[in-house]
Amino acid sequence: MTGDGVIAGELTLGGRPRSFALRLPQDAGAGLPLVRDVPPTHAVSAMLIHGAADMISPIAGGYSRHRGPNGELRGRTLSLDETAGFWRAVDRCPPGPDDTRTTEVSRRTQARGGVGGTEVVTWTVFGGGHTWPGSASRDGAMTTQEFDAAGEICRFAQPLLAAADTRRLG
């Protein structure tokens, strides 16, 4: 998980969940210690966009490429599916089939009906790297122009900016 994912997790779980109705990091993985050790108090909608070929934050999760002082693995990150499952459980989205749209370039899955109207969206860019959809590629990593992440985030967020008392889990 990169810096924006760490900050998003800290703020939406332990930091200020009443102040943040949405979680929108560039990479979708959540840090295992954070989701294991910080019980959420509010439902938080999440849009998780991830490149299937992201080498910086792999879609399958895993460990940081930086080792501890004795060579031990550090910083386990959940996969896209595990992260989405975590947020679906937190938000209490009903089980069952999701609304899924697949193109040649991406797959978007949306789970609705969580506490206070929260939802969880995963968006996988097939072959995509650690890039921002709708922008120019950097470092030669594949990105897509099929959708603009900034525009999609705004469309996703607008109707979900619910007051904290409607998202309380207690």
pLDDT of residue 92: 94
End-to-end CA, the chain: 29
Cβ pair 44, 91 in contact under 8 A: yes
Of the CA atoms within 13 Å of residue 107, those in its CB half-sphere come to 10
Residue type, 64: S
Mean pLDDT across 108-112? 95
CA 115 – CA 88 distance, rounded (Å):
10
Of 157 and 146, which is predicted with more confidence? 146
Of 36 and 78, which is predicted with more confidence? 78
